[in-house]
Amino acid sequence: PNTVAVYDYGRTPDGRFYYAMEYLSGLSLDALVTRFGPQPAGRVAQILTQAAGALAEAHALGLIHRDVKPANIFFCERGGVPDMVKLLDFGLVKHLGSASGPSLTQADALTGTPLYISPEALSDPSQIDHRADIYALGGVGYFLLTGKPPFEGKSVLEICGHHLHTTPELPSERLGQAVPTELEALVMACLAKKPGERPADADAVLERLR
């Protein structure tokens, strides 16, 4: 229920591709934080739980999103239930069984949003797996808690360098107030530089959130 629904797709008589999605009324997480500032920890946990559920479904099908970010997570009301999360924009999705190697194009070499891109997507993009989405989800959690992405810089190169080499400041320190220990530890674990040091998968993230 937290993955955006696509009802139909095809081509128009003049050859243009189209698809029809469910209509959503609300705002992105990016807009939410821009308008209302850092979010309460309980709400952050609920948002991450729903987003992790959408990722768990995608990963079970062998798909990695590769562009998880606040602008691609929508906050809306569905069936009278507020704070419903929808994961959008699977335009960069990659099947884990797809071939890649020396023929990787320059356009594919840096895929995703630099503010939330995983270290391995920078160092060896042909080898990323579902744990790149876990890293990005940690970045989203960090943004929701603090109102800022894990790293900022004056250029894409500087931001990418931070993803590769810099440990993020704790959300509680960045925010200047306490954050629940378990939630902060989970966000920081998701942002580990080495994929093997992150939660193993989205289901592991869900278990810790619960």
Which pLDDT band holds residue 109 (cuts at 50, 70, 90)? very low
Q: Is the pLDDT of residue 143 over 90?
A: yes
Return the structure tokens found at 48.
């991450």
| Cross-strand bridge partners of residue 27 | 75
Which of these ranges, 12-16, 54-58, 103-107, has the smallest mean pLDDT? Answer: 103-107
Task: Identify the pLDDT of residue 104.
Answer: 34
- Torsion of the alpha carbons at 54, 85, 3 and 171, rounded to the nearest 10: -40
In this structure, what token pair is assigned to residue 78? 């569905």
Q: Judge whether residue 100 has pLDDT over 60.
A: no
Give the model's confidence band at 79: pLDDT under 50 very low, under 70 low, under 90 confident, else very high.
confident
- The two counts, helices (H) then strands (E), for the chain are 9, 7
pLDDT at 90 over 80: no
What's the confidence (pLDDT) of residue 80? 86
Mean of all residue pLDDT scores within the chain: 89
- Asked if 70 contacts 85 with a C-beta cutoff of 8 angstroms, the reply is no
More confident residue, 45 or 95: 45
pTM of the model: 0.88
67 is catalytic: yes
Choosing from 8, 14, 30, 67, the catalytic residue is 67
pLDDT for the residue numbered 93:
53
The average pLDDT across 18-39 equals 94
Q: Reply yes or no on whether the pLDDT at 198 is more than 60.
A: yes
Per-residue DSSP letter, 3: B
Residue 124 Cα distances to 36, 105, 113, 201, angstroms: 37, 13, 16, 20
